[in-house]
Structure 1
Amino acid sequence: MNPTLAPLLDAHRAHGPEALRLLADRAYSHPSTRKHLREQRISHTIPKRSDQIRRRKAKGPDGGRPPTFDKDHYRERNTVERGFGRLKQWRGIATRYDKYATTFLGGVLLGAIVIHHRVRK
């Protein structure tokens, strides 16, 4: 499982019990990640990697049922990716030259506020 995913999900859950849905790319398609998400009762939309599809099909009927994948939910991930792309246009954020994490976070917050106000005009 991805070592940074569990702490991130725990931090999100600490802010409230609202429903959580994870939209992730193929890098998070490992079976242990999917198992952890099922155990935590977190719905997720993660595409399958081609090697996983081939391996499951090679097993035939013993390969089990493929995980569900909702294309409509996955399309929403594009919005998040474009937001990160806009944020990375800020040189200090893209290069991560800041010495302190709080300075970097301040830059991210400032960039997000400016982008938000530009989009709202």
Structure 2
Amino acid sequence: MELSRGGRNTKIHAAVDALVNPVRLFLTPDNIHDCTAAIELLSGVKLSETTVLADKAYGTLDIQTYIESQHATFCIPPKSNATDPWACDFYHYKERHVVECFFNRLKPFRGIATRYDKRSRNFLSFAFLASAMIWLK
């Protein structure tokens, strides 16, 4: 884990199904941009004949080509500075709230909300445990 300006921070990247159940979790240092971890996150998920909903941060050409190579479609809005913006179905994009709902379900677990663990391995292990508790509900 790298040190950022704020100290030891990490980001949890999550792939979530339509029922707010976590499918895959991935941890990166805080100073790494979201789009650099997206292909590695999606590589562990079966994408064929699905639609990937993601935030603008994941709207790069590499991610789009990876999703299309997996025989899936994407619903990612283009960034405001995109030179060649693509069409986005914003009615379908509203369903992306399930990812936010998943992170809201993680917040009651104090170990995740306050990041007590110094080692990223222990932090990710507790995130997996919390995810299992979410699956069991």
Give percent identity, aligned residues only. 33
1:25 is aligned to 2:49: no
Residue 81 of structure 2: SS of its match in structure 1?
helix
Q: Name which of 20, 25, 35 aligns with 1:2.
A: 35
Q: What is the TM-score normalised by the length of structure 2?
A: 0.57
For structure 1, which runs of at least 5 residues remain unmatched after alignment?
57-65
Q: Any runs of at least 4 consecutive aligned residues in structure 1 with deviations exceeding 6 A, and if so which?
A: none
Contact 2:52 2:73 in 1 (8 A): yes
Counterparts of 2:93 and 2:128 in 1: how far apart (Å)?
26
Map of 1:83 onto structure 2: 102
After superposing the two structures, state which structure 1 stretch, 24-33 or 86-95, moved more. Answer: 86-95
Residue 44 of structure 1: SS of its match in structure 2?
strand
Structure of higher CA gyration radius:
1
Q: Which structure carries more strand by proportion?
A: 2
What is the number of residues matched between the two proteins?
102
Q: Which structure carries more helix by proportion?
A: 1
Map of 1:92 onto structure 2: 111
Residue 45 of structure 2: SS of its match in structure 1?
helix
For structure 2, which runs of at least 5 residues remain unmatched after alignment?
1-33
Q: Quote the offset at 1:39 in angstroms.
A: 2.7
| Backbone CA RMSD of aligned residues | 2.9
1:108 is aligned to 2:100: no
Counterparts of 2:43 and 2:57 in 1: how far apart (Å)?
20
Counterparts of 1:36 and 1:115 in 2: how far apart (Å)?
28
Q: What is the TM-score normalised by the length of structure 1?
A: 0.63
Counterparts of 1:97 and 1:88 in 2: how far apart (Å)?
13
1:45 is aligned to 2:75: yes
Counterparts of 1:114 and 1:8 in 2: how far apart (Å)?
20
